Structure 1
Amino acid sequence: MRILALVVLLLVAVTPVAHAAEVVPLPADKQGFGTARGGSPVWFTLGHQGLSEIFHPDLSTPATRETRLLVDGKPGAARTEPADDRSLTFRQRLRGDGWHAVLTYVTDPQRAAVLADVEFWSQRPRKLSIDHVPMKGTSAVESTLPTEPVRHARGTFAVGFGDGVARAALGRGFDAVAREYARGWHAYLDGLKRPRSADRRLYDMSVMVLAATEDKTHPGASIASPSFPWAFGFDRRLAPELGPYALVWPRDLYHVSTAMIAAGDRAFAVRALDFMLREQQQPDGHLPQNTRVDGTPVWLKVQLDQTAAPLLLAWHLDRRDKSTVDFLRRSADFLLGYPNAPFSEQERWENQDGYSPATIASAVAGLVCFADLLQRNGENADRYLAAADEWQRRVEGWTATTTGPYTPKPYYLRVTKDGKPDQGTKYNLGDNNPADIDQRAVVDPSFLELVRLGVKRADDPVVRNTVAVVDAQLKEQGYWHRFTQDGYGETADGRPWNINWPTPTRTYGRLWPLLSGERGEYELLAGDRASAAQRLRDVAATANSGLMLPEQVWNGRGTTSATPLAWTHAQYVRLAWSLDRGEPVERPAVVVKRYGTS
């Protein structure tokens, strides 16, 4: 066998796309996700046939669609696994008709390049090539694989961004690059703690995935997922810029940050808070629905829980310096001045306005936490506490029904449109639901924010009633749906979710593992540690072979929803630490003390 040195297989230059991507991304159920710890601004994902989207120069920009090994012009089917449990090094085993190959992936910490080590075996001579599909910017592929048909081959290919980058990375040699890449992640994990309650491999993977979601050019900007599920990948009317998961959501960023605080990476949370306040916060004090990693707003609706997020995170970090407090005051004042607050233009699932128990919980806890920071600085916080106390007293009157169709009563609703939970006000759930529904018939596990954030006790009668109602209405296969008749998911026959159908088509939201993590935090407060521990195992059971945790599952497996979802990994990390402590690590003690909810 003759190996040809540094054979350039492909060099592609494309004009950056300003509006809509001309290339449709691959399915969102990524099997792996990697980048160097620090260093070069390039991230790879793995699909079912090889490399899927590579991001460069930031995590809001997919630069390529796929890069695959082809054998006689055809790809193989890949199974992905971690090649090193303590770094984001992944291995794929590809199989085709009479051949198989093993590919191992890393990025070069010194430059914007992804490298793949390849070993190939076949029953007869086969021709190898690399299929590379760019999306934005300029990329190049260089390879040491043979160009003549072979039965066995060993070589490396590199995808680089910038003149000569792929060649320089390849020139270092895969082994040298892989060692440096692994050392970076090993050193990172060595500086952190690990809980007794978690599966070691999945826990370490989860922490690394969370760290990898932070952009390297814009510190603190952590995206929701490096994926583009369903119509967000192919419908340019819905998502002109390929989104919204490769964006920064203050809600998700808060959950990831509290997980990282628990894991011992406090610096991550400090950067995240600074990004929220200095890049995302708008002049009036609110935080937009989501932004690019540079802070540019994309979706513009107001979610009061996201405006409350920096108030909560600042309390956990004890950030009381004047500059931070000035930023926080803008957000707190926005909460107080928002029309009909705590009515919100959107609740945390982003497609309904109204009075939401989860949103109200975030707003109450955020105001109490901010007031505590002010008081410890010697400032008066009475008006923030007065609003928080009023909203805490009135949350049942706004959102708990005594006349709904389920028992036991009263129970919390997902939202009320009018703050009158005993009235049969109807609204459309969206996401392809064909008819309006009585607000009293729609429940949501998110009400547990009231307990986790210290606004209500775990044994509060309305809380306990709602737990029973939610289990009866939303629990299936051991997991929970987001809310009654959720339509955010595939069609019944497995086609991708969309809202722009030529004819009306039903879609069905599946089960969200992160809700199992939230239930586990509640069960700890309810004194049921055994059930909480089972929730941690339930979340772990949804990991794919690459140890990526999904947004949604069905029949025990992840769907083609966003994977990895940072929020799910964060929930796994946070519940593991909560089990070790015996109570939720994120529950703000100052809120618990004020409302006597211990």
Structure 2
Amino acid sequence: MRRCLLLAVLLIASFATPAYAAPAPGAPGIASAWTSGAKEGLGTSATTTSKLWYTLGQGIVNEIYYPQADTPDVQDLQYMVSDGTSFTDEEKVATTHQVSLADPDSLTYQQVNTAKNGRYRITKTYVTDPARATLLIRTRFQVLTGGALKLFTLYNPSLGNSGMGDTGATANGQLQASDGNVASALASSTGFTALSSGYSGTSSDGWQDLTQHRALTNQYTSADAPGNLVQTAQIPVGTDTTFTLALGFGTSRAEASSTATASLNSGWSAVSASYQTGWHTYLNSVAAPPSSTTGITQQYKTAVMTIKAHEDKTYRGAFVASLSIPWGDAQNADSCCAAGYHAVWARDLYQMATAEIAVGDSAAANRALDYLFNVQLRPDGSYPQNTRLDGTPVFGSLQMDEVSFPIILAWQLGRRDAATYAKIKPSAEFVSHRGPSTPQERWEEAGGFSPSTLAAEIAALVCAADLATANNDPGAASYYLQVADSWRAQVDNWTYTTTGSLASHGYYERIDDNGNPNDGHTLGIANGGGNWDERTVVDMGFLDLVRLGVKRADDPHITDSLKVVDAKIRVTTPAGDIWYRYNHDGYGETADGRPYTGVGIGRLWPVLTGERGEYALATGALGTGYLRTMAATANAGGQIPEQVWDRGTTIGTGTGSATPLAWAQAQFVRLAVSLSTGKNVETPSVVAKRYQG
């Protein structure tokens, strides 16, 4: 009798268990990748407690960063829809996308995705919990025509900055995953009716299952072998259903689960209100939008918030260059760690810090300078090309403008105290003894004598001299000014060619290898750009000589050089005039539009339009048109890209590089403030007084 009862219990248990119980087969799955660098929106709490950032693109979430702004953990999170018999739709592919700010004074983005077949609409609103590391997605699913539909969520974690190495399981009605000391938990306010964890590109992949069977037939309760994990769950919906999806993070699955649960229990209304209040408070703490932004005020506010969102919450003052991985969809993500732009460049940090000064957030700019001093500054006074947030070098080269900018920033912030001087003096010594030639200029591809680098070096030495005087170090002050004056007198001898073929008059080269601009040496262009006579390669870097106060705007060598760059690297788009970095540039998509993977064609950079606007202001002309051109390059989410297309029907719109580029947002903000102020707010007055009169 006992044997019969035991058999009956086993039979009942077998029917109650999914047909394909754990473990999921197929580990480790196919190779992983990141997602496009073209973000249409991003968000994070204005608090420092919630160490989570999200980005949006293609109508879905594509990348989440936790617990730092240099650690991506998610490839994508989206919905799938099926009628159960004839079709299964992948949200990012099967719908048309609209994106906007649901609240104009906070980074509360909303995506509206409407099925191309007209069957349904998905409306998603995003916030992060200010008290926790949770992303909340308020979702409304509407059936527009036809019969009932099924809704699924498809989650592709890449925890710990790696697409491989993730494991996952169903627990507490959630989809939980982990890789090392990073874990996630996906939960819904409605609960899930089916859940599964599997491996991308295999039979256990939920995407494969739904595409083939129109239902989640394989409900694997765990995927125990490390691999390219994919997690799928069904959400109970009717013809018009609103619910909240929560994706929580922690150092363990238990912590992530508790975090997601607590955010759901707090409720969407309370969490979203707290999130928005934080951003409202921040915007009220800085200067109001300047008069130059009339008609584009929303773009200005979005740019101000976007810059703030790029500051890390553990390493305060560390602003990453972009919460993106340029052309990430073509970048293998199997091993740690993606380089991307989620790193700190002293140059980009300087650009953001000066924008923060312009809007009245000097506290953020001071944090940036302190980060440079405390994390990146080397004993010899130099700075690395770029680093992870903890100071670990990423690319490993040296750029003399990046050694110079912290000195200028210290002067701009009025940091005249002895402790600050002790930090900047080694850098001033490094610049004065190792310059003026640089191993790399600001485009990070060539060494030699660069007009833009020289401008930063000269300005830095003048600023250092002023700080030395304030700290009773007259010998150093005299030496720095002597070097600065000498270099300024030789800038044209080193970089202004009078034998170049691009014009009948002289002009500034992009860079010269040995300080003889008339010798016609060969310049090798990175990224497949070829080899060219260095006299035939130009950029607009010489405008830094004006912006940093080293030369007057009406200097004939400046104005003659503008004629050349306008003829060689300017493109007039529907948005307005935009410039290439330099002619023959290879850093961009390939000729047929495929993602850049080492060789390509350089596209147009909106940040250069902003620099041209600052130059126009320096001449006494109006630069408002340049500001509006920059605004016109922003996408629907207000994000200004690193690069925009230079041809075709998409000319003037963002490529798959880095959107947003925080430097571009900072340039936009700083130009807007400068236009309303009537002068370039970044120009160090101590430099301009010495050299411009």
- Say whether the fold is shared (TM-score over 0.5): yes
Corresponding residue number in structure 2 for 1:186: 280
Counterpart mapping for 1:265-276 below 5 A = 265-276=361-372
Is 1:436 equivalent to 2:531 in the alignment? yes
Deviation per residue, 1:487-525 (Å, 9 max, x gap): 1100111101112xxxxxx51111100000000000011
Q: CA deviation at 1:232?
A: 8.9
Match of 2:98 among 62, 79, 90: 79
Amino acid in structure 2 at the alignment position of 1:486: D
What corresponds to 1:495 in structure 2?
Answer: 594
**Counterpart mapping for 1:8-407 below 5 A:** 23-38=32-47, 39-72=49-82, 73-76=88-91, 77=95, 78-96=97-115, 97=117, 98-122=119-143, 123=145, 124-136=147-159, 137-145=182-190, 147-148=235-236, 150-162=238-250, 163=255, 164-193=258-287, 194-198=289-293, 199-230=296-327, 234-235=331-332, 241-338=337-434, 341-380=435-474, 381-407=477-503
User: 1:318, 1:373 within 8 Å by CA — same for their partners in 2?
Assistant: no
Amino acid at match of 2:186: V
Q: Which amino acid aligns with 1:320?
A: R
Single out whichever of 256-265 and 159-168 deviates more from structure 2.
159-168
The answer to whether the 8 Å contact 1:32/1:47 transfers is yes
Structure 1 contact 109–180 (Cα < 8 Å) conserved: yes
Runs of 4+ in 1 over 6 A off after TM superposition: none
Aligned partner of 2:174 in structure 1 is none
Q: 1:538 maps to which residue? A: 629
CA–CA distance in structure 2, aligned partners of residues 428 and 236 of structure 1: 30
Q: Alpha-carbon deviations, 1:90-131, whole Å to 9, x = none?
A: 000012231111100000000000000011111221111111
Count of residues in correspondence between the two structures: 567
Percent identity for Structure 1 against Structure 2: 43
Q: Is the 8 A contact 1:408 1:469 kept in 2?
A: no
Q: 1:235 offset after TM fit, Å?
A: 4.7
How far apart in 2 are the matches of 1:592 and 1:157?
A: 55
Partner of 1:482: 581
> How far apart are 1:408 and its partner, in Å?
4.7
In the alignment, structure 2 segments of 5+ residues that lack a partner are 1-21, 24-29, 83-87, 160-181, 193-234, 646-650
Q: Which amino acid is 2:123 matched to? A: V
Contact preservation (8 Å) 2:642, 2:657: yes
Output the aligned Cα RMSD. 1.7
Give TM-score scaled by structure 2 length: 0.80
* 327-336 or 72-81, larger mean C-alpha shift: 72-81
Is the Cα–Cα contact under 8 Å of residues 127 and 149 in structure 1 kept in the other structure? yes
Contact 2:35–2:329, Cα closer than 8 Å, also in 1: no
User: CA distance change for structure 1 residues 396 and 507 in 2, over 3 Å: closer, same or farther?
Assistant: same
Question: For residues 48-83 of structure 1, what are the alpha-carbon distances to aligned partners after superposition, in whole Å with 9 as ceiling and x for unaligned?
Answer: 131110000000000111111221253323321111
1:250, CA displacement in angstroms? 0.4
**CA separation in 2, counterparts of 1:466 and 1:82?**
42
TM-score by length of 1: 0.92
Residue 436 of structure 1: how far off its partner (Å): 1.1
Equivalent residue of 1:476, what SS? strand
Does the 8 Å CA contact 2:100/2:636 hold for their aligned counterparts? yes
- The 1:495/1:233 distance shift into structure 2, 3 A limit, reads closer
Tell me the equivalent position of 1:16.
none
Q: Distance in 1 between matches of 2:330 and 2:271?
A: 32
Answer whether contact 1:49 1:75 (CA < 8 A) is retained.
no
In the alignment, the residues of structure 2 paired with residue 328 and residue 240 of structure 1 have an alpha-carbon distance, to the nearest angstrom, of 34
Deviations 1:330-389 (A, max 9, x none): 111111221xx2110000000101100000000000110111111123321111111111
For residues 552 and 237 of structure 2, the distance between their equivalents in structure 1, rounded to whole angstroms, comes to: 69
Kept in 1, the 8 Å contact 2:76–2:155? The answer is yes
SS at match of 1:436: strand
Match of 1:4 in 2: none
The structure-2 alpha-carbon separation of the partners of 1:322 and 1:349, relative to structure 1 and needing over 3 Å to count, comes to same
Paired position in structure 2 for 1:521: 614
What is the CA–CA distance in structure 2 between the aligned matches of 1:366 and 1:514, rounded to whole Å? 22
2:34 partner SS = coil
C-alpha distance in 2 between matches for 1:423 and 1:543: 42
What is the aligned partner in structure 2 of residue 452 from structure 1? 547
* Counterpart residue type for residue 52 of structure 1: N
